[in-house]
């Protein structure tokens, strides 16, 4: 099997799993996987499609500038440049972008601080932080409508082969050395977001009960 076909299958599997979680509402989300490094080529989801559906043209191959390589009937994701930054600045092999209610609400609550920090949580180990008092900081960038500007805002935070950045009231982009690692980072982030929202809600409820 060619490397392109192998990577198509890997990305299709992730797409199916994330679709099962209902993380592609309203055609949102885009996924990418590296095929080769020098020169860079990666597969990215086609723009504007319902990513819950399986078609013969779900992915296309693009170069380091996000331009399609070879003949295709579909357009690369509108947010391909963000994936270009990740592969251009790290040795990541896979990058995933989803919009969820939890990641949007967290990005709005902590947006003015420019980051959300998690501490004392077992799942921080998913980011490769094993110390007892480890922290995991997820930067939050503004949701620039201009995609080159949005990609430039993401760029300084691509410091490691795994990571995640929240885009305020938009979604999250997470990446890792390979498909398994990228999905692990993404799922760990979404767990932490859901935990934080549940905790805030529980604390607010407790306060109301105690005031009675």
Ligand X SMILES: CSC[C@@H](O)[C@@H](O)C(=O)COP(=O)(O)O
Tell me which residues touch ligand X (CB under 6 A).
26-30, 45, 47-48, 77-79, 97
Give SS3 for 44. Answer: strand
Residue 78 binding result from ligand X, Zn ion, none, given CB thresholds of 5 to 8 Å by partner type: ligand X
User: What is the smallest separation between the CB atom of 143 and Zn ion, expressed in angstroms?
Assistant: 9
Nearer to Zn ion, 78 or 202 (CB): 78
Is 99 annotated to bind a ligand? Reply is yes
| CB-based closest residue to ligand X | 77
User: What is the smallest separation between the CB atom of 76 and Zn ion, expressed in angstroms?
Assistant: 13
Is 9 annotated to bind a ligand? Reply is no
- Rounded Cα–Cα distance for residues 19 and 14 (Å): 8
Nearer to ligand X, 62 or 126 (CB): 62
Candidate ranges 16-24, 101-109, 138-146, 170-178; the one touching Zn ion (CB under 5 A): 170-178
CA dihedral 69, 167, 113, 132 (to 10 degrees): -80
- Rounded Cα–Cα distance for residues 139 and 119 (Å): 15
Phi, psi of 7 (to 5 degrees): -65, -35
Give SS3 for 170. Answer: coil
Residue 70 binding result from Zn ion, ligand X, none, given CB thresholds of 5 to 8 Å by partner type: none
Contacts of residue 103, Cβ cutoff 8 Å, sequence gap at least 6: 166, 171, 172, 189, 190, 193
- Rounded Cα–Cα distance for residues 129 and 21 (Å): 26
| CB-based closest residue to Zn ion | 171
What is the binding site for Zn ion (CB under 5 A)? 171
Which residues does the annotation place in the binding site? 97, 99
Which residues does the annotation place in the binding site for Zn(2+)? 97, 99
């Amino acid at each position: 099997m060619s490397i392109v076909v192998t990577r198509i299958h890997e990305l299709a599997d992730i797409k199916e799993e994330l679709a099962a979680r209902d993380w592609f509402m309203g055609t949102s989300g885009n996924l990418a996987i590296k095929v080769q490094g020098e020169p860079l080529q990666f597969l990215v989801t086609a723009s504007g499609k319902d990513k819950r559906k399986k078609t013969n043209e779900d992915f296309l191959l693009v170069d380091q500038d996000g331009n399609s390589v070879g003949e295709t009937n579909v357009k690369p994701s509108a947010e391909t440049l963000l994936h270009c930054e990740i592969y251009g600045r790290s040795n990541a092999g896979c990058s995933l972008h989803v919009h969820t209610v939890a990641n949007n609400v967290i990005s709005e609550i902590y947006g003015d601080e420019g980051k959300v920090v998690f501490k004392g949580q077992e799942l921080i180990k998913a980011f490769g932080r094993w110390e007892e008092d480890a922290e995991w900081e997820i930067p939050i960038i503004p949701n620039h409508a201009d995609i080159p500007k949005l990609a430039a805002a993401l760029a300084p935070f691509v410091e490691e082969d795994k990571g995640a950045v929240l885009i305020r009231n938009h979604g999250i982009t997470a990446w890792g050395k390979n498909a398994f690692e990228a999905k692990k980072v993404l799922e760990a982030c979404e767990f932490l977001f859901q935990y934080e929202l549940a905790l805030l809600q529980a604390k607010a409820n407790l306060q109301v009960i105690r005031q009675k």
